[in-house]
Structure 1
């Protein structure tokens, strides 16, 4: 069906050949994966099979024809037996799905009756029945690739070439395309596919031809992809985890500094050290700014007022401007008994610092 006989391909302006002494044969009805890194020669093999290029040395024989001796006039007739599917779909944007598929038959001069019969059949085969009148921009990427496959199959070719047909598709759609190609192969069509999809190659266990720098290094039946060290990894790098830890550390440091500033302000107001502890009350009024409020200077209590017990109820201080309330932990001084011995001005200071008791009726629920 397809035979490479010591094929070497050199392109003008390059010192190293794209293919070097490549020798293999693909039998009728096989499904063959061409694997290898970018630049290994996979696409060059497909272009030689399609007769877009001719070998510099050696022979390429497809369907019993030596393509090097095939005249340019006969190339279009030869390509009627070889279908091709590409990564970028290559659909005509101003034509409908039906017209894109029928265009191949119109070029080779098929009758109108044959076109009206063949196009719906192949669209049903690829799962696009009922979408004949849609334009390419109205389809998803997987549907556009199905149109390209239908266009390649409508002339019932003996060989189907696929150059990275799942390269622009998401994983779920790629699985559908691979299942479609396997079904096409089971009907008798020879499929040669160039791919980087290691998972598909490993799961399907078909014949694998591996190229490295233009040289054939492996021809294995029921093989896998092989070396995947050159494939990119999707695992997050360690620097991403370090950045997350650094950001969390910075947030905790800001919270610690805020708590220490509030504790220092209360200590200066009461005249002794106060240890801040977390209070489980979820809702507190705080300023909109994240930093701790600046302490307000209050006159120090006189000796008489400090020594004399305070029996009179302190007059309530006018409520300050309402501030946005957030759900965040606040600190409260441990020596609660000392609060009863301070004067009215000092109680107002504690309230402005957000360190006083919050009446239950002032608490705000999570939906406020």
Structure 2
């Protein structure tokens, strides 16, 4: 179905090849994940399969045709057997859902009766039955991606290429799209998907081809995503305000007991909570963290006693660090000023996608559409 034979691809103006000696074969009906860091060569593989690029060395064979020998005039007819789904949907904004899907069939000259039958069938397959008259701006992101998948399947291709199809979708919608692609694959369509979604790759346990710096480093039949250390985590740090106040309270408690013990002439390391000295000079602990911090840093006041005693500040080395808080107040006052608030992980803004002019998409050519010539049909038919 798809075969890479020692493929190397170099782009003009770059010293390092985008793909270097890549060799693999995808049989009919398989579901394959292309994984790897950005710039590893995943999109270059998909462009070679779609015949947007040709290899610098080696051969790419798709549906029995060596794409190097395929003339530019015959490329649109070859692409009719290869469906493509992109991250940015690429829908025609002035056409309805029905018209977007029917567009591919109209351009290749399908009959009116076939279009009226095929479009509702493929829309029902992707879960959009009853939304034929809606425009793209009236749909959610997941529904727009379903329209893009329906358009790719309208001509019943043998191969479906998906380049980050869940990249612009929320997690719940992404699950629905992955389930849809799995059903399409179960119907016999070969699916090749480039993705960064480690969770889906790990759960589905399909074939995984991993690329790194343009080289194929792993080909596993039932694999997972692999090393996820390079994927940035967007999970916020846990809130630490209440824990910080409780810890400060415990430290102040230890310092107060040590000061009292030193004032009474006792060893501060052996004074416990039941000693008479600690009970004699028990003082309330300020509930406000700022006040507690000021109280800890201020010089200690002399302790009233029958005999005048010189107050001695304990050395830092003599104060044992608390293994766990001795007492946590029932109610902790929250800081009132912005400067007292603990640091937070701020949400990362996501830039909106710019609207692209339809004329700049190269939609008809990339979908394998163009003027039909009877003697230009190539490759197997669906």
Cα offset, 1:179, TM superposition = 0.5
Cα offset, 1:245, TM superposition = 4.2
Distance 2:153 2:202 in 1: 26
Cα offset, 1:79, TM superposition = 0.4
Cα offset, 1:241, TM superposition = 3.9
Cα offset, 1:25, TM superposition = 0.2
- Quote the residue 1:118 is aligned against: 118
Runs of 4+ with >6 A deviation:
248-251, 255-258
Secondary structure in 2 matching 1:149: helix
- Quote the residue 1:162 is aligned against: 162
Distance 1:199 1:10 in 2: 32
* 1:169-200 CA-partner distances (Å, limit 9, x unpaired): 11111110000000000000000000011111
Larger C-alpha radius of gyration, 1 or 2?
1
Distance 1:159 1:182 in 2: 13
- Quote the residue 1:96 is aligned against: 96
- Quote the residue 1:218 is aligned against: 218
Cα offset, 1:243, TM superposition = 11
Cα offset, 1:255, TM superposition = 6.4
Secondary structure in 2 matching 1:184: helix
Matched, 1:150 2:187: no
Distance 1:123 1:186 in 2: 17
Secondary structure in 2 matching 1:231: coil
Distance 2:89 2:127 in 1: 16
Matches within 5 A, 1:251-330: 252-253=288-289
TM-aligned CA distance change 1:14 to 1:99, over 3 Å: same
Cα offset, 1:235, TM superposition = 3.2
- Quote the residue 1:206 is aligned against: 206
TM-aligned CA distance change 1:251 to 1:149, over 3 Å: farther
Distance 1:233 1:244 in 2: 24
Distance 2:148 2:90 in 1: 7
- Measured on the aligned residues, the alpha-carbon RMSD in Å equals 2.7
* 1:190-247 CA-partner distances (Å, limit 9, x unpaired): 0000001111111111100000000000001011111111111133348x7479948x
Cα offset, 1:12, TM superposition = 0.8
Secondary structure in 2 matching 1:223: coil
Distance 2:287 2:79 in 1: 66
Cα offset, 1:58, TM superposition = 0.5
- Quote the residue 2:19 is aligned against: 19
Distance 1:114 1:94 in 2: 23
- Quote the residue 1:275 is aligned against: none
- Quote the residue 2:60 is aligned against: 60
TM-aligned CA distance change 1:99 to 1:241, over 3 Å: same
Distance 1:161 1:136 in 2: 22
Note the residue ranges of structure 1 that are not aligned, 5 or more in a row: 259-289, 291-368
Secondary structure in 1 matching 2:14: coil
Distance 1:229 1:16 in 2: 24
Cα offset, 1:106, TM superposition = 1.2
- Quote the residue 2:8 is aligned against: 8
- Quote the residue 2:40 is aligned against: 40
Note the residue ranges of structure 2 that are not aligned, 5 or more in a row: 249-285, 295-335, 337-382
Distance 1:10 1:56 in 2: 6
Ranked by relative contact order (alpha carbons within 8 Å, sequence separation 6 or more), the top structure is 2
Matched, 1:235 2:271: no
Secondary structure in 2 matching 1:51: coil
Matched, 1:79 2:115: no
Secondary structure in 2 matching 1:70: coil
